[in-house]
Amino acid sequence: MAEFTMELNDDQKQVRDWIHGFAADVIRPAAAEWDEREETPWPVIQEAAKVGIYSLDFYAQQFFDPTGLGIPMAMEELFWGDAGIALSIVGTGLAAIGVLANGTEEQIGTWIPQMYGTPDDVKVAAFCSSEPDAGSDVGAMRTRAVYDQASDEWVLNGTKTWATNGGIANVHIVVAVVDPELGTKGHASFIVPPGTPGLSQGQKFKKHGIRASHTAEVVLEDVRIPGSCLLGGKEKLDERLARAREKAKAGGGERVKNAAMATFEASRPAVGAMAVGTARAAYEVALDYAKTRTQFGRPIIDNQGVAFQLADMRTQIDAARLLVWRASWMAIAGKPFTAAEGSMSKLYASEVAKKVTAQAVQILGGNGFTREYPVERMHRDAAIYTIFEGTSEIQRLVIARTLSGMPIR
């Protein structure tokens, strides 16, 4: 087990600089265009695939970095480039994590490569959990999966919402209810293969920020998938459901992680790193502007009102990064989140991103409010971090319940 460190090694620095170069040279020049178009930036994703950033091998290398810092380092640099485009590049990763967290070795080897495609024919994947009436309250999920024993197929019906890459994905990972009486313990995840009849895209959302990332509803109407597409397999599911039923009969309170929660727990520090990247980008723009913008005969950074804001911005960004790195190291080292450290990192970094980008707009004044400068876009993008993959309110609830010993549902 690697010791926790705040210093990247030479190999990590080389990877960081490589990703930063791609973000600076490819992502940033395209950011404003794709934000305006509100379309998936396929050419940029293809460029990322050609250089090896959009690939299973790249994410596997970062995911299994023994220090735990590979993924947060990569996320920070990509989202420093632009949040919308970066989310289009990394959005497939959430579905891949869902398979890695819950799937068999055969499922991992079969389906994750199909999520990415090839550099000449890139594909994307979607993780579908939220529903119109079930966002933070995953217990309100209504999408059903019913097993047809005669054909060894699962039949899925329901509507998912807020799905990144929803409807345009090659592979969809769908969380559904298999036993309504067990609440969140009766959920399971399923692989919907490419071209499966009955799956369609519903409403595509026009968003406040991250507009280069495709977000839409996914409608499932009598979607039939092979039994082998149940993540983890039916035997494992039956065993888990049996334990949950026994505990329910006995009045026990065993905490059983559902499939969606396992995915979110693994990804929350990574989301925190995304927020750090956006915050850092806005801070750097504001710092450069404050050094060169002259008012009353001197650069505005000479005014304490501006200088102190920049000092606070940098301090908060560094503190957020440290929380993200700690949680990422704990996860790879197998240390339990006894104080919900993963949620802490996502909560704090998300709030910092919103605050820092707002301060950057203020420092740039009228210029910051226009699309001629990128902080306006960064401020819009930052709003998502306190909402998706668990709102700030839910993170606080998770932290509080962890500290108090109450069950997290």
Catalytic residue numbers, as ranges: 389
Closest CA to 36 of 207, 205, 211, 204: 211
Instruction: Give ∠ CA 179-180-181 in degrees, rounded to 5.
Output: 95
Give phi and psi for 154, each to the nearest 5.
-105, 140
The CA–CA distances, whole Å, from 309 to 116, 174, 272, 356, 377 equal 42, 43, 22, 9, 20
Quote the distance between the C-alpha of residue 48 and its chain's center: 18
DSSP one-letter code for 401:
H
Q: Strands of 78-119 (E only): list them.
A: 117-118
Q: Could you give the CA distance from residue 223 to residue 257 in angstroms, rounded to a whole number?
A: 26
On whether the CB atoms of residues 138 and 161 are closer than 8 A, the answer is no
On whether the CB atoms of residues 274 and 208 are closer than 8 A, the answer is no
On whether the CB atoms of residues 171 and 111 are closer than 8 A, the answer is yes
Instruction: Give ∠ CA 44-48-53 in degrees, rounded to 5.
Output: 150
